[in-house]
Chain A
Amino acid sequence: MTVAGLADSPWSIQPQGDRTLLLVHECQGQASVDTGKKCAALAHALRHAAIPGITDIVPAFSTVALHYQPTLFGASTSIKSLSAQVHKVLSARLEGPDAPVTSRTVDIPVCYGGQHGPDLEHVAAHCQLSSAEVIQLHSDGAAYVFMLGFAPGAPYIGMHDQRLDIARRNTPRLALPAGSVAMANRQTIIYPNASPGGWHVIGATPLSLFDASREPAAVLQPGDRVCFVPISPSEFHCLKQAQA
């Protein structure tokens, strides 16, 4: 169902089962930082609206999911009024410009290549670049955190330079070390824990991306900007020791 009475809205409200509303942006085809930012901004506005009954607001590349619990609705609230409140937030946003969400820039140290980045040379060869050029393109400027998913604290970051375009591996690796920084389709993901993975590992970060006993638990959040900072193997070792 598209937002009734909001024909100009780029968002549609689509139920996903009976405990989730999915807000879908009309630009849902390709990943773009522009659409990603709109998702983060909408998630922020919805969080601010503090609609009763919503337990989680999950932005992604072109969608924002609202997970709700009917038991948390007050006596006067229902699914209909939940939708109405979401409508209100969406129509308020139509009237004014998107309020910029103050985003942080987080430095992520990465030791590229060698034992930490077994796929760096393969990526370079595929992209017809040198390993140094791949590192330079990957770490130049800031990239955008679209969302976290697949594991606690695991970020989806992009979009990298056009020249860094490589599809996922045909066969995933069974055991990537925690902190592996991997690329595919002009995006980067970082595996917070040892796990199987199908992206190309070009480096590793010594940072612990998620710790439930820390506040905040996750180093990165949707909407953050990330600067990858090349470090040497010995710097990696020192930073890793410092975390223990």
Chain B
Amino acid sequence: MTITVVKPGLLSTFQDLGRFGHQHLGVPVGGAMDGRAHRLANLLAGNPEHEATLEITLVGPTLQFHSAGCIAISGAQLNPALNGQPVPNNRPLTVRPSDILSFGVRQSGLRAYLAWHGGYVLPPVLGSRSTALRSGMGGFYGRALRKGDSIQAGAALHSEQLDALQKQLWNLKVYLPAILGLMPRQSVRATRGPQTDLFTPQSVTGFFSSEFRISTDSERMGYRLFGPELNLENTVELLSEATSFGSVQVPPDGQPIVLMADRQTTGGYAKIAHVATVDLPLVAQAMPGEALRFTEISLSQAQQLDHQREEAFERLYQTLKPLRQWLQAASIPDPTAA
């Protein structure tokens, strides 16, 4: 049950929801940059949310499947095609042995997530299948995919049942509420933090009102932004402390960095604000060269939005119960199970 990498794409790595429980040992969380799209892809492929997906960046890979299965793609619109025929994002899709999945020109977003029903066979490292590129561990041998790589699929479907399954999927109505999609927003919502008051009032106002351009230096560790200089009231050297996904730290040059999935677990730069979890996907899908603006919201607003998204995911999970039942019925039992 393998998947062959015909072309690797720009940066294709396996990610799940991250590596938790070891940050006190300096182990970064990592995981999907757009956790929302990762979870969507999994649910639409009948997977639990924590299953690894392939995180695809800008230029997608070309993959050949050697078994029948069900996949789903969420996140950036990178014009996927199966055997040259365009296929939609956010739908469960059947694939047959020898089918080839490829991607075309990017239409919107930056990162897409490919889920395979049954997951990919990747040994977990410290409880996660996410790829820690910096330390070369986890995912597929701790690195991005290369041409010729062979990936083990975790499960396959009975080829003979695909036609019937396809009919069932065709009739499956999936409604994705706005909060699970990536609605374009004018600005990224963020909260003040413990160190916001270390900055000059003009800098804080400036942060929440100016446009920042995303530098080409931006990647999985953080997004470097160019904009008006943000200054501390007093130049103090701060003691290192834990960082969070979405923390906006400001080094001495006054240019903010939004800390993302592969951020180091601790840092000593002052943090001016923290991106609300609900808007992290907005940052994850923004391209170098594009602009970001920030809007201040309260912590309780941020938590309410986070909660609303969680409730929407729970409802979607319930709605997709028939999908999981059909896929279960069409699955080849795990040959590795004793």
* B4 in the interface (beta carbon within 8 A): no
How many Å from the CB of A231 to the closest CB on chain B?
A: 25
Are A156 and B24 in contact, with the CB atoms below 8 A? no
How many Å from the CB of A105 to the closest CB on chain B?
A: 18
Are B277 and A18 in contact, with the CB atoms below 8 A? yes
- B302's partner among A18, A56, A148, A156 (CB-CB below 8 A) is A18
Task: Determine the distance from Cα of A50 to Cα of B314 in the docked complex, in whole angstroms.
Answer: 25
Query: Which one of B22, B137, B245, B310 has the highest number of Cβ atoms from chain A below 10 Å of its Cβ?
Result: B22
**Which residues of A, 20-37, contact B by the 8 Å Cβ criterion?**
20, 22, 24, 28, 30-31
- B24's partner among A57, A69, A70 (CB-CB below 8 A) is A57
Are B194 and A16 in contact, with the CB atoms below 8 A? yes
How many Å from the CB of A134 to the closest CB on chain B?
A: 23
**Chain A proximity mask over B254-294: 1 for CB below 8 Å, otherwise 0:** 00000000001111000100111100000000000000000
* A91 in the interface (beta carbon within 8 A): no
Task: Determine the distance from Cα of A153 to Cα of B28 in the docked complex, in whole angstroms.
Answer: 11
- In the complex, chain A residues whose CB is within 8 Å of the CB of B275: 17
**Which residues of A, 63-77, contact B by the 8 Å Cβ criterion?**
63, 65, 67, 69-71
Are B240 and A17 in contact, with the CB atoms below 8 A? no
* A59 in the interface (beta carbon within 8 A): yes
Closest to B25 in A: A218
How many Å from the CB of B250 to the closest CB on chain A?
A: 15
- In the complex, chain A residues whose CB is within 8 Å of the CB of B126: 212, 217
Task: Determine the distance from Cα of A150 to Cα of B263 in the docked complex, in whole angstroms.
Answer: 9
Are B24 and A17 in contact, with the CB atoms below 8 A? no
**Which residues of A, 28-50, contact B by the 8 Å Cβ criterion?**
28, 30-31, 43
Give the size of the chain B interface in residues (CB under 8 angstroms). Answer: 42
Are A17 and B276 in contact, with the CB atoms below 8 A? yes
* A228 in the interface (beta carbon within 8 A): no
Are B191 and A18 in contact, with the CB atoms below 8 A? yes
Are A149 and B239 in contact, with the CB atoms below 8 A? no
* B125 in the interface (beta carbon within 8 A): yes
Task: Determine the distance from Cα of A69 to Cα of B168 in the docked complex, in whole angstroms.
Answer: 35
- In the complex, chain B residues whose CB is within 8 Å of the CB of A43: 24
Are A65 and B241 in contact, with the CB atoms below 8 A? yes
A-B contact number at CB 8 A: 136
**Which residues of B, 5-52, contact A by the 8 Å Cβ criterion?**
20-28
**Chain B proximity mask over A52-89: 1 for CB below 8 Å, otherwise 0:** 00011111111101010111000000010000000000
* B306 in the interface (beta carbon within 8 A): yes
- B21's partner among A55, A193, A218 (CB-CB below 8 A) is A55
* A179 in the interface (beta carbon within 8 A): no
- In the complex, chain B residues whose CB is within 8 Å of the CB of A62: 239, 241
Query: Which one of A148, A210, A217 has the highest number of Cβ atoms from chain B below 10 Å of its Cβ?
Result: A148
- In the complex, chain A residues whose CB is within 8 Å of the CB of B125: 212
* A117 in the interface (beta carbon within 8 A): no
How many Å from the CB of A195 to the closest CB on chain B?
A: 9
**Which residues of A, 196-236, contact B by the 8 Å Cβ criterion?**
210, 212, 217-218, 221-222
**Which residues of B, 226-243, contact A by the 8 Å Cβ criterion?**
239-242
Query: Which one of B25, B27, B132, B267 has the highest number of Cβ atoms from chain A below 10 Å of its Cβ?
Result: B25
Are B194 and A14 in contact, with the CB atoms below 8 A? yes
- In the complex, chain B residues whose CB is within 8 Å of the CB of A69: 20
How many Å from the CB of A124 to the closest CB on chain B?
A: 24
Closest to A57 in B: B24
Are B26 and A60 in contact, with the CB atoms below 8 A? no
**Chain A proximity mask over B285-328: 1 for CB below 8 Å, otherwise 0:** 00000000000000100110011001000000000000000000
Are A210 and B25 in contact, with the CB atoms below 8 A? yes
Are A152 and B26 in contact, with the CB atoms below 8 A? yes
**Chain A proximity mask over B112-125: 1 for CB below 8 Å, otherwise 0:** 00000000000001
Are B191 and A149 in contact, with the CB atoms below 8 A? no
- A70's partner among B23, B28, B276, B307 (CB-CB below 8 A) is B307
Are A16 and B247 in contact, with the CB atoms below 8 A? yes
* A15 in the interface (beta carbon within 8 A): yes
Are B244 and A16 in contact, with the CB atoms below 8 A? yes
How many Å from the CB of B36 to the closest CB on chain A?
A: 13
* A154 in the interface (beta carbon within 8 A): yes
How many Å from the CB of A180 to the closest CB on chain B?
A: 16
Contact sample, A vs B, 23 pairs, CB 8 Å cutoff: A14-B193, A16-B193, A16-B244, A17-B276, A18-B274, A56-B23, A57-B24, A58-B266, A59-B24, A60-B239, A60-B241, A63-B242, A65-B244, A70-B303, A149-B264, A149-B265, A150-B265, A152-B25, A152-B27, A153-B26, A193-B135, A212-B138, A221-B25
A-B interface, 10 closest residue pairs, ranked by CB to CB distance from nearest: A149-B266, A17-B274, A65-B242, A61-B239, A148-B26, A58-B242, A14-B194, A55-B20, A18-B302, A56-B23
List 8 extra interface pairs beyond A22-B241, A151-B135, A193-B135, CB under 8 A: A15-B194, A16-B244, A67-B244, A149-B26, A150-B265, A152-B22, A152-B25, A212-B126
